[in-house]
Amino acid sequence: MDNSNVSNFIHDIIDEQKANGFTREIHTRFPPEPNAYIHIGSAKAIWINASTAEKYGGKFNLRYDDTNPTKEDEEYVRAILEDIRWLGFEPTGGVFYGSDYFDKCYEYAVKLIKDGKAYVCDLTPEQMREYRGTLTEPGKNSPWRDRSVEENLDLFERMKNGEFADGTHTLRAKIDMSSPNMNMRDPAIYRILHATHHRQGDKWCIYPLYDFAHPIQDALEGITHSCCSIEFENHRPLYDWVVENIGFDPAPHQYEFARLNMTYTSMSKRYLRQLVENGLVDGWDDPRMPTLRGLRRRGYTPSAIKDFLSRCGVSKAYSIVDIGLLEHCIRDELNRTAPRRMAVKDPIKLVITNYPEDKMEYFEIANDPQNDEPTKRRVAFSRELWVEREDFAETPPPKFFRLKPGGEVRLMGAYIVRCDEVVKNDAGEVTELRCTADLESGCGNPSDGRKIKGTIHWVDALTAVSATLREYGYLFTQPNVFDLPEGMSFLDVVDKNSVTVYPEAKLEACLADTPEGERFQFVRDGYFVRDPLPDTYNCIVGLRDTWAKAQSK
């Protein structure tokens, strides 16, 4: 990806720094927690950090924030790196783990204790919240704030050695309980947690808190620009306090950007996990999920996702992006790249009574009509075809230009046919349309000059491939999941009818044995991708671009 012409406020800062003599190599990082699959909001953070390093010839690190052993899993560790690489980025500075720095974090915690800047506190979590104060009232000092250095060192050592139960002690930074910034009111920097770590095993039963560990990790890796989402803006004074009081030089600096919010979607890992655990979706890679795994299975491409992120831009202001922009980006790409094919979702048999039973011929139909010199494929045609059930109406509404009793339509790229007879089953359902073809029309105009207003697609019945097609709506019925009426949960607005399955679809013969991940435009329906499930295709996006139409008004 060429980032030479891409700019944002972070790049403006770097340009100014360089103009003023900043000589360090630009070094960024992405620090995901390995407790879930990453989503398109994470992709924004990856894109900002990786593309910034790339633009300035620097390095980009992947560092797993694995400081909470109760939620982490090697499955997520592997998936995160795979997803970053699928997106088109490489951790050029290396792959690291926060847990690899536990020894250094402990060493620096001891330093703070010796400097009189940290103490062991016996307050329970409930008492700590009580002592913390409010946004309008200052907090109160802990009764254990003035313990001696010797006592704090002894207690912290005993915490490390496993002498105390979870929650009985914390190590807190000694800053200012009256600070207007709640994060500076003697925050906890270590807690006791007797849990087996996925990399460290049972070596540790105390773990550093993120706000303490993160700046240390940045400093040790030589990170220059620690770019994170805006919710960490109020944490920056604590970040700077840790860096300054440990004595890192040169020091990293934190920069914040607005996180990605998108309509009809949630970027909350907690919410997404509930969807998975409650069986409301078919796993983290469900094509309705905003995870990169879900988007990949849906058929989205890395280039379309990066195009979307670029169009969203980088700022500090809160916004919620119309999901239609994401759909526009993939639709715009696939309109240029996806070959056209015919597929019938809900088939009904069409028999051409005046066509020889033992005859088969081939029509040439364009694969890529958008190209200046489109290529063509040969499509089989015989007496029996499949057409869409919705392309026939026994009692048609006004301006219905598809198939109806006594009416004519063009079979796309082939003959004109007239519906002569409608065959029904005992339940009164239409099962077959018996038609006659204008066999002189071929794929040209009728010889008598009559106008045919309707064209429908079709699939030859003798050579058709059977498949399942899946079409998807949005996960939620409300555009903003975080702005719901009082008393309503996000689970109340999950659209339980957001998947439509067509289990008996019929496709062109050339779609037999299509590789997983291949994308096509099924004419008049939308763009589809071959799913990992056998003989299954997922709708990526429909043909109508309502977002682009709205922008043009």
Helix locations, 358-432, DSSP H: none
Give the span between the Cα atoms of 127 and 287, in whole angstroms. 44
Tokens of 296: 């990949």
Beta bridge partners of 381: 361
Partners of 347 in beta bridges: 388
In DSSP terms, 421 is beta-bridged to: 434
Query: Tokens 């499949």 — which residue?
Result: 386
| CA–CA separation, 286 and 36 (whole Å) | 14
Q: Which residues lie closer than 8 Å to 151 by C-beta, 6 or more apart?
A: 120
Q: How far apart are the first and last CA of the chain?
A: 32
What amino acid positions are annotated as catalytic residues?
33, 259, 269
- Cα separation of 45 and 29, whole Å? 9
> CB of 321 within 8 A of CB of 262?
yes
C-beta of residue 164 within 8 angstroms of C-beta of residue 158: yes
**Hey, what amino acid is at 506?**
K
**Which DSSP category does 291 fall into?**
B
d(Cα 230, Cα 310) in Å, to the nearest integer? 18
Question: Which residues contact residue 415 at a Cβ distance below 8 angstroms, ignoring those fewer than 6 apart?
Answer: 352, 437, 438, 439, 441, 442, 443
